Amino acid sequence: MSEFYGSSDETTNMETLQAALDSGVNFFDTADMYGAGHNEKLLGKAFAGKWGQITLATKFGVVRGEDGSWGGINGNPNYVMHACDKSLQRLGVDCIDLYYMHRPDPETPIEETVGAMSKLVKMGKVRLLGLSEVDPSHLRRAHHIHPISALQTEFSLWTREPFEEVISTCRELGITFVSYSPLGRGFLSGQVSRESLEANDWRLGLPRFQQDTIQKNQVFVEILRDIANRKGATPAQIALAWVLQKELNLATIPGTRQIGRLRENLGALQYELSEAELEEIHSRLPTQTLGARYPDS
């Protein structure tokens, strides 16, 4: 709602957040780097006086200047404390339900970062700890320092790579797997093309959204659309249903700015894919998605 996906309207964002709350959505995910702090302020405004109705997750570690400049990754213990205090201030809360390390800092051992996060729990500023985009080895090392409640990683029909090894580690350690971008940054909805994106949309610079790759990756949408048409669903709903059926101890966080899309996403809960449909998807899927997830991947 605050950055990356073209222009944004705060009134519409507030209405969508309220509609989500009214629809029974009770888990909201943000980060201090989204909009360089703007998104935490937005949620603080939207949910003032309503925090008891939801579980809030936010993240630290990707450093942004107030002007939006990028400052790398920081998992230094002193920075962890500073970042948490700033997030609490922007959100207007006394305690964050789930606090993630957004990305591992290659310059700081994960034990030191998680050790500082553990102190935040003891201080009552954070309830539960999470990690994002770490490998099984780092997850085990972190979990040894303090129980990790959630691991967030991109996972969808066109980003299946992390699933087997990471999810088996999560299952073994009792950690919830949180799938972000379950709709492939909107692509799997079948509603996204380069021509549909605004000039300031971050996706235009992603390898998977270049003209040659986006055309070849349409096969994912074709598979989803075929099954969706037979079930009276939309491609987005089938994509979400596929993610939700992968693992019992799994949550997913599709994002949207539009109430209509919110309701469409929630409608995925009514669809269950049969074994035959799951096998059809598996047999027709390309072995890999063309284009890396990020420009520097």
pLDDT tens profile 243-280: 999 877 899 999 999 999 999 999 999 999 999 999 99
Name the least confident of 7-16, 48-57, 151-160, 162-171.
Answer: 162-171
Identity of the amino acid at 46: A
| pLDDT confidence band for 296 (50 / 70 / 90) | confident
From CA 294, how far away is CA 16, in angstroms rounded?
28
62: tokens are 């990707």
Token pair 């700033």 in the structure block, residue: 86
pLDDT on residue 288: 87
Active site residue 5: no
The domain limits of the chain are: 10-284
Pairing of strands 176-180, 250-253: parallel
pLDDT on residue 297: 61
Identity of the amino acid at 227: I
Q: Does pLDDT of 72 surpass 70?
A: yes
| pLDDT confidence band for 164 (50 / 70 / 90) | confident
Residues 134-142 have a mean pLDDT of 97
Residues 11-21 have a mean pLDDT of 97
Q: Residues of the chain with pLDDT > 70: what percent?
A: 99
| pLDDT confidence band for 234 (50 / 70 / 90) | very high
Mean pLDDT over all residues of the chain? 95
Catalytically annotated residue among 34, 99, 100, 271: 34
Q: Which CATH number fits domain 10-284: 3.20.20.100, 3.30.70.1050, 3.30.1180.20, 3.40.50.150?
A: 3.20.20.100
Q: Does pLDDT of 129 surpass 90?
A: yes
**pTM of the prediction?**
0.95
CB of 101 closer than 8 Å to CB of 59: yes
**Taking Cα atoms as reference points, which of 4, 93, 101, 117 lies closest to residue 40?**
93
Q: Does pLDDT of 66 surpass 90?
A: no
